[in-house]
Amino acid sequence: MIIIGERVNATRRSIKNAIQQKDADTIKAEITMQDSAGAHYIDLNAGTGSGNVQQEKDDLCWLIDIALECTDKKIVLDSSSAETLKHAVEHLDNRRPWMLNSINGELTAQSIEIIELASQYQVPLIALAMDKDGIPAEAEKRLAACEAILNEVTKRGLKEELVFFDPLVLPVSTDEKQAMVTFKTIQKINELFPQAKTTMGLSNISHGLKKRSLVNGSFLTTAVCFGLHSAICDPTQKSIQQSVVMGNLLAGNDKFCRKFSRAIRQGVFEEEVS
């Protein structure tokens, strides 16, 4: 299970402020917390919403420099701007393994440039299972978007095994069937595109609900059982750590329950859980 730490994202007010004020200590703390919690990748997003591409380019390079200083984990370069990602890739200069986040099934000129960038370096690319009309409510339309994306990326030379499809998540508070739509999408991606991988964020599933961490954790455990390979999440949350362990256990990915036993010894589970 590949964990992508999501906390260094400029859509969070504290991160946006830290970027604008060049508060390196705050960013370092966010990165090292996720590193210590077991993240395999650290996602870096510098899109503060200013619309200034040059500023986003500069800010993302600043985040890269901090990450290189305080962690040895792999890096996810997160932007919808091909120009920003190209600049970040040049700045990173292969000093650390990296991944690109993201494109979608609309396959705009920006998306094509990002695909070509991923193909040039043969690095993983996150692809959202959506089209020009947004996130489909049905699994079938999400799978159609995945097929269109895969045809395009392989045509441009990116290996299928480097594609991480995000099946996407809509809130169960507005449509109680949406969790199962996501699970079905994960399952079918694994069947139809067996070399590709899957990853996704979690928080949208519980939007508008109380006890969100409980909902998110249960959702993640079940998603792992349906074949999810990776999660974009906050690895510092105990509920996420527990859900990853439980998902691997129940999905048959934990031989002799060794990871489960190790997690208990490491204090991942609360004492009152028996």
Q: What span, in angstroms and rounded, lies between the C-alpha atoms of 244 and 262? A: 13
pLDDT in tens, 211-265: 999 999 999 999 999 999 999 999 999 999 999 999 999 999 999 999 999 999 9
In the chain, the amino acid numbered 69 is: E
Confidence of residue 272 (pLDDT cuts 50, 70, 90): very low
Report residue 1 as tokens: 């299970």
Buried b vs exposed e over 7-21: b needs ≥16 C-beta within 10 Å? bbbbeeeebbebbee
pLDDT attached to residue 271 = 54
Which helix (DSSP H) or strand (DSSP E) does residue 206 occupy? none
Confidence of residue 270 (pLDDT cuts 50, 70, 90): confident
- Which phi and psi (to 5°) does residue 38 adopt? 105, 10
Task: Provide, rounded to the nearest whole percent, the portion of the chain with pLDDT above 70.
Answer: 99
DSSP single-letter state for residue 158: -
| For range 193-206, the mean pLDDT | 96
Q: What span, in angstroms and rounded, lies between the C-alpha atoms of 188 and 136? A: 15
| For range 186-204, the mean pLDDT | 97
Class of domain 2-265: alpha beta
Contact 102, 124 (CB under 8 A): no
Q: Tokens 């959506």 belong to which residue?
A: 130
With a cut of 90, say whether residue 166 has pLDDT above it. yes
pLDDT attached to residue 273 = 42
Tell me what the pLDDT averaged over the chain comes to.
96
pLDDT attached to residue 48 = 85
| For range 145-155, the mean pLDDT | 98
pLDDT in tens, 111-148: 999 999 999 999 999 999 999 999 999 999 999 999 99
Q: Reply yes or no: is the peptide bond before residue 261 cis, omega within 30 of 0.
A: no
Confidence of residue 274 (pLDDT cuts 50, 70, 90): very low
With a cut of 90, say whether residue 51 has pLDDT above it. no
Strand pairing category for 230-233 and 197-198: unpaired
Q: What span, in angstroms and rounded, lies between the C-alpha atoms of 78 and 186? A: 22
Q: What span, in angstroms and rounded, lies between the C-alpha atoms of 88 and 57? A: 7
Contact 135, 105 (CB under 8 A): no
Instruction: Determine the length of the chain.
Output: 274
